Chains A and B, each alone.
Chain A
Amino acid sequence: MANLVGARIERKEDKKFLTGRGNYTADINLARQTYACFVRSPHARAKINKVDISKASKAPGVVKILTGEDLAKDKIGGLIAGWKIVSQDGKDMKIPPHPPLAKDSVNFVGDHVAVVIAETLEEAKNAAEQVNVGYKIQKAVVNTADAMNSEAIHEGIDRNLCFDFLLGDKGKTDEAFSKADKVVKLDLVNNRLIPNAMEPRAAIGDYNPSSEQLTLYTASQNPHLDRLILSAFNAVHPEHKFRVVAPDVGGGFGSKINAYAEDVVVAWASKKIERPVKWVAERSESFLSDNHGRDHVTHAELALNNDGKITGIKVDTIANLGAYALVFATVTPTYLYAPLLLGLYDIPTACCTVKAVYTNTAPVDAYRGAGRPEATYVVERIITEAAKEIGMDQAEFRRKNFIKKFPHQQCLIHNIDSGNYDAHLDKALELSDYKNFENRRSQSAKKGKLRGIGFSTYLEACGIAPSAVVMSIGAGVGLWESAEIRFNATGNISVFTGAHSHGQGHDTTFAQIVGDKLGVPIDNIDIVHGDTDKGPFGMGTYGSRSVAVGGTAIVKACDKIIEKGKKVAAKMLEGKPEDIDFKDGEFILKNSNKKKTIGEIAFACYLPGTFGDIKSPLPEGVEPGLTETSFFDPSNFSFPSGSHICEVEVDEETGETKVVKYTVVDDFGTIINPLVVEGQVYGGVAQGIGQALYENAHYDESGQLTTASYMDYTMPRADNFPQIKLDYTSTPATSNPLGVKGCGEAGTIASPPAVMNAVIDAVGTDVSMPATAEKVWKALKKNGSKKAAA
């Protein structure tokens, strides 16, 4: 039976989704339910003179209108930044107040000002239009690069600077640069993205005044953390009387990590009116108020010797936080970014500064990859430029600088436990038929197309994260994970995990792990998550952590089950626990044919005595029942890596770019379910191609989001992609017993530079993301036709 791990098993959760029986927050309707509509700021920056609700309060169906004043009166706390960053000068980062409903000022279009609660959604919307907010409009600060030279938008935060972070050794790095044969310089913009999970966010607060129980249904990636924040920081309700349920959640990609204003407000409002309050975002609200991603302006320099050996990297980045600092907003452009600027290369010196700035735009936080795509974009772009400048082959230049021996202590933070970068590069070169690329380039030229090739050999730090490490660098929580294995008396198993699945397939992957460990058929194992009343406290899903951290907690809980089972089996089989072997679901007494199945042992644990045919007295000191809990805190991050090779064709007449060939070879360590892992990679690569070629969140000078619908924000669609070729190599992680490294973000991390390197190779000049037809066409015009050369 021990063959579930590694098997391509169809997902257990699929049938409900395929037959329309999923249960998303918006699908939930409660008795006595009311509907919430938020009054949002139409201005990017303004003082609030008044919020007049007198007319709106009399509108049909209105139950209650709540404002920032009401929130302050009830002492509801502000939204939090969860990670403290210290500036170069030793001073703490500067965090502005972030009330869930603004009282004195608004700081981005979509900022929450009031909530109207009514009997129907239509009535709530109609009344919301009658809330009269007096604004004194101020000049908005929008541009990332200019923010520090603009008027301060938050009182007491000079130059709009949250922090000025430094990582690395400036002296040593400067020395390496002064001795280098060559210095390559590059200016880059990492475009702002909007995550766009297909399920718009939604939340329902449901307070029961008799039991004083508050339930919040919310589209969240981490319901336990949501409850903790709403309880400890927003003071909405005590944790022990507060249940947070994140039922089926329709994608997250980081945008559903935060405890949002809407979560706080519907939960609090439900207490005030003693009825359920339901809010479901319209897509335009999602565009305006979900956390955005990326938005960096960077200058990078690479020092190298004439033989192609890199000796140092220097990076200076301005990261746009938007209007406020959210939960992972400050760690994303610092510790999740700067160390990854080394890529998978052996670079002896490095220095990175990051200035995080506030602007009058939607808050920016973790978006799939969180910091690592931004870092990989910098290193893979500049490595490509460096190889070109010294005239080395892209693959060979990379290979020359790869880390070769493990474990490898990088000069910035990470100690990489395992890897074999030559292996995935070799396989990718083979799979992509690299040696015949120039033939394909000529073939394309015959069709009037410019063909280009781009590499991205990436490293990521996943399995977020070792608590001791992250807390020493400012994390407000430990990032361990929990699991509980509850063996039922009838022999089937409920597994409770603190991780949360919003598309990742945990119901299947985790069941495969448990099935192998305990020798129980996969159909007899159910994975339970997403409800704070059911399982133990857990940290949720992000940072490619679910299997590396959550899966390991499950393995450890299984080990405890086996441990106890051996004691019970020893008693029943008249041997000693140390003489009991456990294999494929059976406890066997050594050197005998005596054995008990794990089902029999579970049954015995629930019927600890002797009656008729039942003879299962438990050994002395062994408690009845068969439930074990484990909390796992990893000793290190895990380090997936891989090689992506992209080929594009650019239409010289129109500037339109198509990805025509895309090859991926990843090293994720152990793979639990190849079907699920492939899906993660395909989806991740598609999002990365989206960033490189199509997607861009654009604010105009006044701070209006001009890309606030699917008519204006280009989402990648089925006809934008070729079939992606995918293969693996494997060096198991040493930081967890499964050997898994994490696969959820790799595609999004690796693909933007692979695509852009290909575009630039085709066009022959720099193009910024997204490489839209217009931009590419202009670049071609500026650069002159390459057709003749091709």
Chain B
Amino acid sequence: MATVNIRINGKKISKEVSDSTILADFLRDGLALTGTHVGCDTSQCGACVVHLDGISVKSCTTLVADCDGSEITTIEGLASNGKMHPMQEAFKKHHGLQCGFCTPGMVMSAVDLLQKNKNPSELEIRDWLEGNICRCTGYQGIVAAVKDAASKM
């Protein structure tokens, strides 16, 4: 067991966790932040992507015990003051989601891309999103959304 002090979506949290607790489970079961989804068991699908100290990580393969002292942002923390993040707005505008299951991870991943590359090409967007699987959209609306968000951020 270990005590971890984390700031999640701006809120300080101090909790006792077992050494094997996975961040995705901790968010979903421990904090009822069910926006982070678990879509596979091999760290392939990307539905669980959150930001750890501003960088996108797959929360299904991150141990909470390793997150002590860090800042975590989940999909629930992306909008501010009731206003959706430009990336969220762009996904809506370009129909970048259908069933919504991969969406939180997809959006968090895309936001990180724009932090690293302010004006990515279509190829760069597709390449970056290779770690997030969507079964509904064929990625076309998603790619359009990321391009559009880049022009607004």
| Chain A residues in 8 Å Cβ range of B141 | 678-679, 682
| Chain A residues in 8 Å Cβ range of B37 | 24, 26, 198-199, 250
CB pair B39–A724 under 8 Å, yes or no, is: no
CB pair B92–A719 under 8 Å, yes or no, is: no
| Chain A residues in 8 Å Cβ range of B36 | 20
Q: Mark B110-153, 1 if CB is under 8 A from A, else 0.
A: 00000000000011011101101111111111110000000000
**Does chain A have a CB within 8 A of B101?**
yes
Nearest A residue (CB) for B125: A718
| Chain B residues in 8 Å Cβ range of A724 | 138, 140
Nearest B residue (CB) for A282: B41
**Does chain B have a CB within 8 A of A710?**
yes
Cα(A19)–Cα(B100), bound, Å: 10
With beta carbons under 8 angstroms apart, the residue of B42, B103, B129, B136 that contacts A717 is: B129
**Does chain B have a CB within 8 A of A685?**
yes
**Does chain B have a CB within 8 A of A624?**
no
CB pair B88–A19 under 8 Å, yes or no, is: yes
Nearest-neighbour CB distance to chain A for B90, whole angstroms, equals 10
Q: How many chain A residues touch B (Cβ–Cβ < 8 Å)?
A: 55
Nearest-neighbour CB distance to chain A for B78, whole angstroms, equals 7
| Chain A residues in 8 Å Cβ range of B88 | 18-19
Q: Mark B36-48, 1 if CB is under 8 A from A, else 0.
A: 1111111011010
Nearest-neighbour CB distance to chain A for B61, whole angstroms, equals 13
Given A19-B84, A718-B126, A718-B142, decide whether A253 and B100 contact each other with a Cβ distance below 8 A. Answer: no
Given A20-B76, A504-B98, decide whether A11 and B92 contact each other with a Cβ distance below 8 A. Answer: yes
**Does chain A have a CB within 8 A of B107?**
yes
CB pair B136–A710 under 8 Å, yes or no, is: no
CB pair A718–B39 under 8 Å, yes or no, is: no
CB pair B95–A675 under 8 Å, yes or no, is: yes
Nearest-neighbour CB distance to chain A for B22, whole angstroms, equals 12
**Does chain B have a CB within 8 A of A502?**
yes
Inter-chain CB contacts under 8 Å: number? 176
Nearest-neighbour CB distance to chain A for B92, whole angstroms, equals 4
CB pair A251–B136 under 8 Å, yes or no, is: yes
CB pair B39–A198 under 8 Å, yes or no, is: yes
Cα(A248)–Cα(B103), bound, Å: 13
CB pair B99–A721 under 8 Å, yes or no, is: no
**Does chain A have a CB within 8 A of B59?**
no
CB pair A283–B39 under 8 Å, yes or no, is: yes
Given A283-B39, A718-B143, decide whether A683 and B100 contact each other with a Cβ distance below 8 A. Answer: no
| Chain B residues in 8 Å Cβ range of A19 | 35, 75-76, 78-79, 84, 88
CB pair A198–B76 under 8 Å, yes or no, is: no
CB pair B101–A711 under 8 Å, yes or no, is: no
Given A20-B75, A20-B76, A283-B42, decide whether A199 and B99 contact each other with a Cβ distance below 8 A. Answer: yes
Q: Mark A158-171, 1 if CB is under 8 A from B, else 0.
A: 00000000000000
**Does chain A have a CB within 8 A of B74?**
yes
Given A19-B88, A503-B99, decide whether A686 and B75 contact each other with a Cβ distance below 8 A. Answer: no
**Does chain B have a CB within 8 A of A782?**
no
Nearest A residue (CB) for B102: A198
CB pair A505–B140 under 8 Å, yes or no, is: no
**Does chain B have a CB within 8 A of A572?**
no
| Chain A residues in 8 Å Cβ range of B33 | 20
**Does chain B have a CB within 8 A of A92?**
no
CB pair B47–A22 under 8 Å, yes or no, is: no
CB pair A709–B138 under 8 Å, yes or no, is: no
**A residues 1-57 touching B (CB-CB < 8 Å):** 10-11, 13-24, 26-27, 29
With beta carbons under 8 angstroms apart, the residue of A15, A251, A678, A717 that contacts B92 is: A15
Nearest-neighbour CB distance to chain B for A384, whole angstroms, equals 24
CB pair B74–A200 under 8 Å, yes or no, is: no
Main secondary structure of the interface of A (DSSP, over half): loop
**Does chain A have a CB within 8 A of B34?**
yes
With beta carbons under 8 angstroms apart, the residue of A20, A251, A686 that contacts B34 is: A20
CB pair A687–B135 under 8 Å, yes or no, is: yes
Cα(A181)–Cα(B16), bound, Å: 80
| Chain B residues in 8 Å Cβ range of A765 | none
CB pair A198–B42 under 8 Å, yes or no, is: no
Nearest-neighbour CB distance to chain B for A658, whole angstroms, equals 12
**Does chain A have a CB within 8 A of B93?**
yes
Nearest B residue (CB) for A16: B100
| Chain B residues in 8 Å Cβ range of A682 | 137-141
| Chain B residues in 8 Å Cβ range of A145 | none
Nearest-neighbour CB distance to chain B for A756, whole angstroms, equals 18
CB pair B91–A503 under 8 Å, yes or no, is: no
With beta carbons under 8 angstroms apart, the residue of A10, A198, A249, A685 that contacts B45 is: A198
**Does chain A have a CB within 8 A of B65?**
no
CB pair A18–B127 under 8 Å, yes or no, is: no
CB pair B45–A710 under 8 Å, yes or no, is: yes
**A residues 194-250 touching B (CB-CB < 8 Å):** 196-200, 248-250
Given A21-B35, A22-B35, A709-B41, decide whether A197 and B95 contact each other with a Cβ distance below 8 A. Answer: no
**Does chain B have a CB within 8 A of A783?**
no
**B residues 23-60 touching A (CB-CB < 8 Å):** 28-29, 33-42, 44-45, 47
CB pair B135–A198 under 8 Å, yes or no, is: yes
With beta carbons under 8 angstroms apart, the residue of A250, A284, A684, A723 that contacts B101 is: A250
CB pair B40–A710 under 8 Å, yes or no, is: yes
**Does chain B have a CB within 8 A of A715?**
yes
Cα(A503)–Cα(B97), bound, Å: 8
| A–B complex contacts, Cβ < 8 Å, 17 sampled | A14-B100, A18-B107, A19-B75, A19-B76, A19-B78, A20-B76, A21-B35, A197-B101, A199-B101, A248-B100, A250-B100, A251-B135, A503-B99, A679-B136, A682-B137, A682-B139, A724-B140
Top 9 nearest A-B pairs (CB, nearest first) are A20-B35, A17-B100, A250-B101, A686-B138, A503-B99, A710-B44, A503-B98, A682-B138, A20-B75
A residues bordering B, Cβ < 8 Å?
10-11, 13-24, 26-27, 29, 196-200, 248-251, 253, 282-284, 502-505, 675-676, 678-679, 682-687, 709-711, 715, 717-719, 721, 723-724, 747
B residues bordering A, Cβ < 8 Å?
28-29, 33-42, 44-45, 47, 74-76, 78-79, 84, 88, 91-93, 95, 97-104, 107, 122-123, 125-127, 129-130, 132-143
